[in-house]
Structure 1
Amino acid sequence: MMPTDTSCNVATLSIYTPSSSNPWNKQKVNHLYRRIGFGASSSMMTEALTKTPSSLVDQLVQEALDLVPTAAPRWGYWVRDQFLRSSTTPPEYKRIWKTQIIDDLSKNNLRDRLTLFWSNHFVTEELVYQSPAYMFQYYNLLQLHALGNFKAFVKDIGLSSAMLVYLNGFESTKNDPNENYARELYELFTLGVDNGYDQNDIIETSRALTGWNKEDKRWGPILFDTDNFDDGTKTIFGQTGNWGYDDVIDILFTQRTDQIAKFICKKLYRYFISPNSNETIINQLATTFVDNDFEIAPVMKQLFKSEHFFDEKSIGVIIKSPIDIQVSFLKELDFKFASSFNVNSIVRGGSINLGQDVMNPIDVAGWQGDTDWIDSSSLTTRWDLISRYLSAAWVHNQEQFRTIAKEIIEGNSNDVELVSRSIMDYFFSRELVSETDYSQALVIFKDQVPENYFEDGTWDLDWDTAPRQVFQLLKFLIKIPEFQLK
């Protein structure tokens, strides 16, 4: 068959209503939480099943809207001299904040999922702007607008200090306008490559964006300098006037409304649903986006409540990112570790090793994701990293392996095949196609327990070997290819 970029999922955006043939069950709850957040603990799963899918999505979206941004650290607005006087170096402050970001992500909600998404859309690279304070302020802005109004988001992000330095707005003056931000504003942030603009629009826009280069102290706020602003007449998208920064955003969203909506909704679709697009669904989401004046929340509600989202063809079709595979698995296990085992720091380091350093994407286009996340080398690194978490949890408290098994099957059982298969299915997006994997898992799960103990009902999850059996099963299932999918 010829490869295609079109999704085979033909389900609609009608609200998903569970039925006997299409039930609301653990598989679908896990699917929702792995996409809308970063996995669900057993208690979250139990609570979710008491709600309708639609009411749960409403709740999760509202919770995200109600969240306030993470509190500023004491150094969140420091200038360079203050950092230099501190006993902690700027790189150390940045490491501290990146660990805080991992902690935010692990709290499992749509706001933090979208914060990560937008950091890979409105890309900056911390190695370019250097300032830990700029990193915090940029991240704060991503959280603030993550589920809010996209036009306001675009307007604010372009004036963030991190972005002004990263895409050279800080260097752009009336005598020497820099085109970098103007180009990426259209190409990467709102319209897409060669979609509704030309080189003259970029040139004229760059003139309108001049003047944001007044910095009284290094790493301090970057302010507008009237003397450096090009106050001549510019023509952008056929509109002529003495345009400035705010005018550019207003003209863009007025003259290119549909193009913006479709570009952003396609990007959201490919991130939350499938790497392969469904143009009909994307166009309908774009209509919702425009009808709601570019508010993001209504689009998220429509998407996550839909039959299209919960269709089998949307489940298990996205390769987990380095952050996904760690944070979601840890959330679903809900294991405890020794205090000396700094989970957030290890997750951050593991993500870096696997190519996803938060706040520092590979280039201005960001991580492309999906198949780019895995090759023969990174796959074995993923196995080793997840195995490390399991081993650390085992050393700290073996009983929690028995506990997770009982939570998954909702009690105790002496049916070894049921227990083994239930644990396997819990950590996969859908049932495995190959029965061989289940058979191999069962052999491993039985470990060295005498076969007659399973046959006569002697064995159950209270048996003294059960924690080790669960531990061995988990070590096995993380190496099955489907574990890499969500």
Structure 2
Amino acid sequence: MDAVMRDAAFPALALNRLAFGPRPGDAEALRRDGFERWLDEQLSPHDDHDDDGARAALDACRLRIKYDAGESWAAVEETRPLASLGKPIDALWPLSDGKRPFAGPERQFPRLEVTAATLIRAVHSRWQLRAVMADFWHNHFNVFAGEQAVSASLPAYDRDVIRRHALGNFREFLEAVGQSAAMLVYLNNRSSRAGSANENYARELFELHTLGRDAYLNALYNKWREVPGATAGRPSGYIDQDVYEAARAFTGWTVEDGAGLGGEQRLPATGRFAYVEGWHDQYQKRVLAEEFDPFQAPLADGRRVLDLAADHPATALHLCRKLCVRLLADDPPERLVRAVAAVWTENRRKPDQIARVVRFIALSPEFAEIRAAKVKRPLELVASFARAAAIDLTATNGLIGELDGSGQKLFGCPAPTGHPDRMEAWLGAAAMRRRWSLILGLAENRWGSGALDNAVLFSGPVTAREAVEGWQRALHGAEPEEGTSRAILAGMALDPAARLVPGSRDGDAKLRRIAAYAAMAPRFNER
């Protein structure tokens, strides 16, 4: 690790992978204090009350809400604080009731608030690695907040499920997800009953959340006994029979949504998790070659499925490959994936299992050796530019709308796969134009999200060449590239010796545009 820290480029690389990019001075501080010390602090975050920068930015944020009068509500046009973030789910659950008189923007406002909080934490949070991992897990356990019940439950899902467990134990995490209103609604398990089990959650549990598509063996085998290892109790993968039986195991896992229980009895309407024993299929089952006896204790069948799925060797490989893809490269070395999977399995009972695995990846030789193997997605691009340029960013409706249009609409991906995490998804011609629009809009403060202060970098007049080279050093964490310098100067029709004065209208406009063009360079878009 000492040799790694002598590499001038390593601190910026680490902060672009394990954080949302360095702020001015961060790379030097990491080099001075030591990478392992920084990493261990990040892997043991305190609660949100020990995050003054993020708390202040969250408290200051205001979002606009506007809609016309309807039959049952008055017109509204106002700005509001992020009041939903700390509310229990029962306080927001009425927004999910289609029979109650709420305008559409009211029903979607919790999703807007969580999006704003995600942006703000990415820029301002002291606990950068937790913010990175929360983004990873939100994609892994994706829910679509375009549905009003999911939007109403999103603040609790983000707070009590994703961020709470992002560096914890995966098996505990898996159950918290499975019992969350957001997932129960999104994958339809709240309506799953004995005799008509809904397979959506069980299928995505195996295919996406745990074992992965590579372990789906139904094209090869259609009887559980035929799956290699099954008769010894160690099936190498899963087939449709496992999905059907697992779906039966999760019948009765539902949401307190006011549904009738028979006669005059109804569930409360709180949005909280409920287990309705009368809706559960009590008969024997077989999942992943394990026999389930009939009439087990409440929740026992579903929890056993979660145990089997969480402990399966294919889950270790699937999850660890995804973590390596997120933190390292689109195509990580197989030897590293298998080494990480061994650490995952060894620590599967530890309360900080995920943190231990992330630490192993971050301290691996491959983490330091592999370069330019990822591209920043729009959220990372926005946050890293704001951090590097010292923009005191706040989330605004305009910025969120532009981010939504970039292809990475936070909590707005309809497919359970979440947003893609490979370069080719973000480098098409249309995607590149949206990336450039995001950066230029931030630099010029088009959406009122925070002004770029040129005085942070330049204390007095500079030449155009000095400005171009200065912004490259600040944003790229490296000496300027002559090709990039020539391209910016030519693109802006600037004489390299032209004098630019910070604080003047023309000087500030040109300096901000230079910053944006420097952020469009390939070196800034890599991580």
Q: TM-score range by the shorter chain?
A: 0.7 to 0.9
CA contact (8 A) 1:394 1:471 kept: no
The secondary structure found in structure 1 opposite 2:146 is helix
Structure 2 residue aligned with 1:476, among 517, 520, 523? 517
1:365-384 paired onto structure 2 within 5 Å: 365-369=417-421, 370-384=423-437
Change (3 A) 1:343 1:229: closer
Letter of the aligned partner of 1:365 in structure 2?
A: T
Structure 2 residue aligned with 1:245, among 302, 306, 314? 302
Report the counterpart of residue 231 of structure 1 in structure 2: 282
CA distance in 2, matches of 1:275, 1:226: 44
Letter of the aligned partner of 1:17 in structure 2?
A: D
Give CA deviations for 1:183-233 in whole Å, capped at 9, x if unaligned: 111110011115111111111111111111363244622310111111111
Report the counterpart of residue 12 of structure 1 in structure 2: none
1:10-29 paired onto structure 2 within 5 Å: 16-18=1-3, 23-25=6-8, 27-29=9-11
1:391-402 paired onto structure 2 within 5 Å: 391-392=444-445, 400-402=453-455
Change (3 A) 1:284 1:37: same
CA distance in 1, matches of 2:472, 2:41: 29
- Tell me which protein shows more strand as a share of its residues: 2
Report the counterpart of residue 63 of structure 2 in structure 1: none
Give CA deviations for 1:354-387 in whole Å, capped at 9, x if unaligned: 1112122240111113221232223222222211
The alpha-carbon deviation at position 173 of structure 1 amounts to: 0.9
Question: Are 1:424 and 2:472 counterparts?
Answer: yes
CA distance in 2, matches of 1:56, 1:203: 46
Report the counterpart of residue 437 of structure 1 in structure 2: 484
CA distance in 2, matches of 1:449, 1:394: 30
Report the counterpart of residue 33 of structure 1 in structure 2: 15
CA distance in 2, matches of 1:377, 1:445: 22
Alpha carbon RMSD of aligned pairs, Å? 3.5
Structure 2 residue aligned with 1:48, among 27, 30, 41? 30
CA contact (8 A) 1:65 1:147 kept: no
The alpha-carbon deviation at position 253 of structure 1 amounts to: 3.4
CA contact (8 A) 1:288 1:299 kept: yes
Change (3 A) 1:222 1:101: same
Change (3 A) 1:400 1:220: closer
CA contact (8 A) 1:150 1:296 kept: yes
Structure 1 residue aligned with 2:170, among 150, 155, 161? 150
Report the counterpart of residue 134 of structure 2 in structure 1: 115
Report the counterpart of residue 334 of structure 1 in structure 2: 390
The alpha-carbon deviation at position 31 of structure 1 amounts to: 1.6
Structure 2 residue aligned with 1:351, among 376, 394, 403? 403
CA distance in 2, matches of 1:235, 1:150: 23
Give CA deviations for 1:88-136 in whole Å, capped at 9, x if unaligned: 8222333233222322222341111111111110111112353443111
Report the counterpart of residue 122 of structure 2 in structure 1: 105
1:127-206 paired onto structure 2 within 5 Å: 127-128=146-147, 130-140=149-159, 141-195=161-215, 196-206=237-247
Unaligned runs of 5+ in 2: 56-83, 216-236, 257-266, 294-299
CA distance in 2, matches of 1:55, 1:222: 39
Change (3 A) 1:286 1:58: same
Higher relative contact order (CA 8 A, sep 6+): 1
Change (3 A) 1:55 1:142: same
The alpha-carbon deviation at position 445 of structure 1 amounts to: 9.2
CA contact (8 A) 1:77 1:220 kept: yes
The secondary structure found in structure 1 opposite 2:445 is helix
Give CA deviations for 1:326-354 in whole Å, capped at 9, x if unaligned: 111001111247xxxx5444432222011
The alpha-carbon deviation at position 144 of structure 1 amounts to: 0.5
The alpha-carbon deviation at position 422 of structure 1 amounts to: 4.7
Change (3 A) 1:136 1:463: closer
Give CA deviations for 1:249-281 in whole Å, capped at 9, x if unaligned: 123334x1x211111010001111010121101
Unaligned runs of 5+ in 1: 1-15, 407-411, 454-458
Question: Are 1:57 and 2:27 counterparts?
Answer: no
Structure 2 residue aligned with 1:209, among 240, 243, 250? 250
The secondary structure found in structure 1 opposite 2:254 is strand
Percentage identity across paired residues of the two chains: 20
Letter of the aligned partner of 2:375 in structure 1?
A: I
Report the counterpart of residue 10 of structure 1 in structure 2: none
Question: Are 1:485 and 2:526 counterparts?
Answer: yes
Change (3 A) 1:396 1:229: closer
The alpha-carbon deviation at position 436 of structure 1 amounts to: 2.5
Letter of the aligned partner of 2:188 in structure 1?
A: N
Change (3 A) 1:445 1:422: farther
CA distance in 2, matches of 1:396, 1:175: 52
Change (3 A) 1:219 1:350: farther
Report the counterpart of residue 7 of structure 1 in structure 2: none
Question: Are 1:324 and 2:380 counterparts?
Answer: yes
Report the counterpart of residue 277 of structure 1 in structure 2: 332
Q: TM-score, structure 2 length as denominator?
A: 0.75
Structure 2 residue aligned with 1:299, among 332, 357, 366? 357
Change (3 A) 1:45 1:445: farther
Letter of the aligned partner of 2:310 in structure 1?
A: F
